[in-house]
């Protein structure tokens, strides 16, 4: 079976520094929203399978997205990178696995909603 990493590596050869940046980002994700990492882990295989079955998935665009995550991480914008990952995963599941019923996706949807509400509240009341 083809993995996500294998597909992305096919269009971009990661440097050790880029791999380290992604590791730091995932460590941050595990601290601030482990539900995102759990859902990504659980859904990844089916998402790759569905995308591969369609045959027209833009792996280059995904590699570019990952490189943007590296840029954000290196700029110290870890929370912005996490927000981008949350939305990208949500869109991928809607597009490639709309009937997804795994428990970690249900948790993801609940926590994503809470996360968005918190961000909205903080934006409306800066400094509090």
Per-residue pLDDT of the chain (128 residues; tens, 9 = 90+): 444 555 555 666 788 999 999 999 999 999 999 999 999 999 998 988 888 888 877 888 888 999 999 999 999 999 999 999 999 999 999 999 999 999 999 999 999 999 999 888 887 877 65
**Alpha-carbon span 121 to 128, nearest angstrom:** 10
Name the DSSP letter for residue 43.
H
Residues 6+ apart with CB under 8 A from 81: 25, 28, 69, 72, 73
Domain that residue 76 falls in = 4-124
Q: What is the pLDDT of residue 73?
A: 98
Please give the model's pTM, rounded to 2 decimal places.
0.85
Q: What is the pLDDT of residues 91-103, one digit of tens each?
A: 999 999 999 999 9
What confidence score (pLDDT) does residue 53 get? 87
Q: Which positions ≥6 away from 54 have C-beta within 8 Å?
A: 96
**What is the pLDDT, as a whole number, of residue 85?**
97
Count of H-run helices and E-run strands, the chain: 6, 0
Taking alpha carbons only, the member of 103, 12, 97, 5 closest to residue 53 is: 97
Q: Which of 93, 59, 75 has the alpha carbon at shortest distance from 25?
A: 75
Question: Structurally, how many domains does the chain consist of?
Answer: 1
d(C-alpha 50, C-alpha 97), whole Å: 7
């Amino acid at each position: 079976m083809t993995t996500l990493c294998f597909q992305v590596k096919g269009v971009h050869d990661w440097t050790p520094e880029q791999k380290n940046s992604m590791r730091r980002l995932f460590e941050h994700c595990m601290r601030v929203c482990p539900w995102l990492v759990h859902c990504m882990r659980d859904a990844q295989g089916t998402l790759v399978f569905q995308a591969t079955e369609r045959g027209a998935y833009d792996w280059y665009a995904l590699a570019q997205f990952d490189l943007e995550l590296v840029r954000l991480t290196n700029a110290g914008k870890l929370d912005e990178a996490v927000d981008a990952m949350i939305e990208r995963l949500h869109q991928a599941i809607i597009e490639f696995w709309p009937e997804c019923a795994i428990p970690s996706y249900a948790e993801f949807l609940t926590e994503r909603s809470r996360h968005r509400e918190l961000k909205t509240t903080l934006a409306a009341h800066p400094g509090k």
